[in-house]
Amino acid sequence: MPDQKVDVFISGAGPVGLLLSYELLRLGISTHIIDAADKASPAFPMLGRASTLYPRTLEMLDQLDLYDDMAQVGLVGRRSVTFKEGKRVGGRGWTKVVEGLTDTFFDFSLNIRLKYSEDILRRRNTELGGTVHAPVRLVDMVLDENAEDEWKVTATCADFAGETHRVRAKYVVGCDGGSSAVRKLAGIPFEGEDKEDHWVRIDGKVKTNMPDSRVGFGSIESKTHGNVLWVALDHGATRIGYALSPALFAKYGRKMSQEDAVKEAKAAMAPFEVEFETVDWHTVYGVKQHVAARLQDRERILLAGDAAHTHSSGSAQGMNTGTHDAVSLGWRLAGVLNGWYKPGVLASYSTERKVAADTLIANDRMISALISGHKHGQFRDRGEDTNTLLSEFLGSAAGFTTGLGIEYEPSSLNDVEGSLSASVRPGQRAPDVLLRKNGLPHPLRLNQVTKNSGKFQGLVFTGDVPKTRPVLKSMRTQFNKHAPRLQHAVSFVTIVRGHDIAFEEYLGVEPFGNAYWDMDHSAHTRYGTSPESGDIIVLRPDGIVGFIASLDKFGAVVEYLERHVVPRGVGRPGINGVNGHVGELINLDENNLYYQQAKVQAREQGLPEGTESGAISAH
């Protein structure tokens, strides 16, 4: 088989690899994704694993048009119960996490097992022309930094018959788990430790006399099996998770049978009765906590998900953190390949997500120890029992756990120093708020009009229009001057304080992008926008606040954007040769599904740029 050429080679077709591939394909980037297991095969066994998606993850999936598919399958969990010796205990366990589900319209978790989320992501990749090559392993990887072309990385793959083929890629991303072949072949250290704690997870349909067994989550404070996990799952199933004491692990080991896993699950749930009608899956695993020394190597090799960090399932962070990685990486990688963004934008991925991974591991060390019944760190000398301490720590870490409180450090992308002070800060997630279309009585969410298109989004909060109309007119002059050079990578939305019958008539100028009414001023209030001066709040493509300025400082907004965006007709072309001329209009077909599929196919076949334009004529 001749060498294949592709923009991005992805090792690992779990949720992180599939999500990243989906993001890239949407933005016209070709991918080649492999996995050692053919999980699409009907013969592949049921896998439980990742099961809980938190609010920030759901917001991200919603902005990528994936939430609706997931919601058709998943179970909504808004509550949690905790029991000790058969009696309800208030304010303990998962309740502390549930209490943190605020300031979002996704004020719940969605419980959906890995098999079903992967099936959805695989199908959505297929719709965009993507293919998972499986069962295929990565056996070698060579980066030639002196290569004359941009396909600098050569990946050698082997199927299980021993046949090999090579893929030449501009970038390689390891999404291939804790034993990542990409990480190992790149020589990136995986720092951390394997703990002596061992846990069991078992999924199935059960009957129980435990009250509120389908509300979402439960905790059983057991004297023999640690802090026992109870999760109501999709398809009427339930997950029970418990710790194996050293004595129990010595008895069963890692090869614990299904029969023994069921027996100990029943013991862990005492005094409640549990009867398994079916068992879908069970596993025994040792707690491991590792983080990669870096998430980007020699510019062209990147890591995401468990390839970058491994931890326990104690706070259900695996797929959530992996989703954050994929969403954080996708827009950067596509933007650099498309010539939209400067190389420093991609380099910032490793910096930001490495800090998040370090926080994740630090939290997991504490949570996993307390679940297993050990006091750790600042709690080592505390007199309370480990269940009480676990509840305290879960409460303090709830913002990180749910993703709603994650805040990236100040940087060129998260320009705190240069920004106007407001209720939100650069580096924080942009809150979702309600807006109204002109004439319609029902509201819609800001996130519905700021989908993840790979572009920066400029939110123009008008303030009190009778007071800000002169500065809006001045801003329109500046906007007309600069927007043509940036519109390939930046879009705008105007949020008009109050309501009237027509946007341009009320504003006195043409709106900046699509306009929406903030009828009750709640959007302005949530973002801390002054009625006197209005604001421009720039969102990164992943929905993180990047920069804030008053309406009369549009020049500062342009300066911020040009630190990251390659203006049309300025600077070197992107890796994929995409660049334009000053003032040219954006390709009107760029968001057309058939155009993007044709663009990927043309690139894979080595056809000239623009060949894809004829591919949409039949559609």
pLDDT tens digits along 455-473: 999 999 999 999 999 999 9
Among the residue ranges 135-139, 169-173, 198-202, 491-495, the one predicted with the least confidence is 198-202
pLDDT at residue number 329: 99
Per-residue model confidence as pLDDT tens digits over 86-115 = 999 988 877 888 888 889 999 999 999 999
Residues 518, 530: Cα–Cα separation, whole Å: 14
Would you state the structure tokens that stand for residue 71, as one six-digit string? 């919601």
Query: Hey, what's the torsion of the CAs at 395, 396, 401, 403, to 10 degrees?
Result: 110
**According to the model, what pLDDT value does residue 591 have?**
39
- How many Cβ atoms from other residues are within 10 Å of residue 501's Cβ? 8
Which whole number is the average pLDDT over 74-80? 95
The residue-averaged pLDDT of 242-252 equals: 92
Predicted local confidence at residue 611, as pLDDT: 47
How far apart are alpha carbons 124 and 150 in whole angstroms? 28
Q: What is the pTM of this model?
A: 0.90
Look at 156 and 318; give whichever has higher pLDDT.
156
pLDDT at 274 over 80: yes
Q: How far apart are CA 446 and CA 105, in angstroms?
A: 11
Q: What is the largest CA-CA distance in the chain?
A: 78
Q: What percentage of the chain reaches a pLDDT higher than 70?
A: 91
Q: Find the mean pLDDT for residues 255-279.
A: 96
* Cα–Cα–Cα angle for 142, 18, 492, rounded to 5 degrees: 105
What pLDDT is recorded for position 384? 83
The pLDDT-based confidence of 581 (bands split at 50, 70, 90) is very low
Using CA atoms, how far apart are residues 114 and 131, in angstroms rounded to an integer? 19
Q: Return mean pLDDT, the chain.
A: 90
Least trusted range by pLDDT, from 160-164, 266-270, 469-473: 160-164
- The SS3 assignment for 124 reads helix
Task: Give the residue with greater pLDDT, 287 vs 520.
Answer: 520
Name the band, by pLDDT with cuts 50, 70 and 90, for residue 612.
very low
pLDDT band at 598 (very low <50, low <70, confident <90, very high): low
Q: Does residue 501 register a pLDDT over 50?
A: yes
Q: Where are the domains of the chain?
A: 4-73+112-191+289-354, 193-287, 434-564
Lowest mean pLDDT of 55-59, 167-171, 198-202, 344-348, name the range: 198-202
Stronger pLDDT, 603 or 49, i.e. the higher one: 49
- Percentage of the chain with pLDDT > 90? 74
Query: Span 134-151, mean pLDDT?
Result: 96
Confidence (pLDDT) at 180: 97
pLDDT in tens, 547-578: 999 999 999 999 999 999 999 864 444 555 44
Describe the chain by its helix, strand, coil percentages, rounded to 5: 35, 25, 40
Partners of residue 173 on adjacent β-strands:
10, 302
Radius of gyration of the chain (CA): 25
Q: pLDDT grade, residue 314 (50/70/90)?
A: low
pLDDT digit string, tens, across residues 183-238: 999 999 999 988 878 889 999 999 999 999 999 999 999 999 998 999 999 999 99
Q: Is the pLDDT reported for residue 597 higher than 90?
A: no
Distance CA 223, CA 85 (A): 9
Greater confidence (486 vs 577) lies with 486
As a whole number, mean pLDDT of residues 153-158 equals 98
**Cβ(131)–Cβ(121) under 8 Å?**
no
Confirm or reject CATH 3.30.9.10 for domain 193-287, answering yes or no: yes
Q: How does residue 592 score in pLDDT terms, banded at 50, 70 and 90?
A: very low
Q: Is 321 in a helix, a strand, or coil?
A: helix
Distance in angstroms (rounded) separating the CA atoms of residues 363 and 361: 5
CA–CA gap between residue 215 and residue 80 (Å, rounded):
6
Name 127's Cβ contacts closer than 8 Å, sequence gap at least 6: none
pLDDT at 158: 97
Q: Lowest mean pLDDT: which of 252-261, 267-276, 376-385, 425-434?
A: 376-385
Residue 397: per-residue pLDDT: 86
Question: What homologous superfamily does CATH list for 434-564?
Answer: Phenol hydroxylase, C-terminal dimerisation domain (3.40.30.20)
> Tokens for 172?
């390689």
Task: Kindly state the average pLDDT of the residues 528-534.
Answer: 95
Q: Which residues pair with 111 in a beta bridge?
A: 52, 75
Question: For the structural domain made of 4-73+112-191+289-354, what CATH number should be given?
Answer: 3.50.50.60
Does residue 45 sit in helix, strand or coil? coil
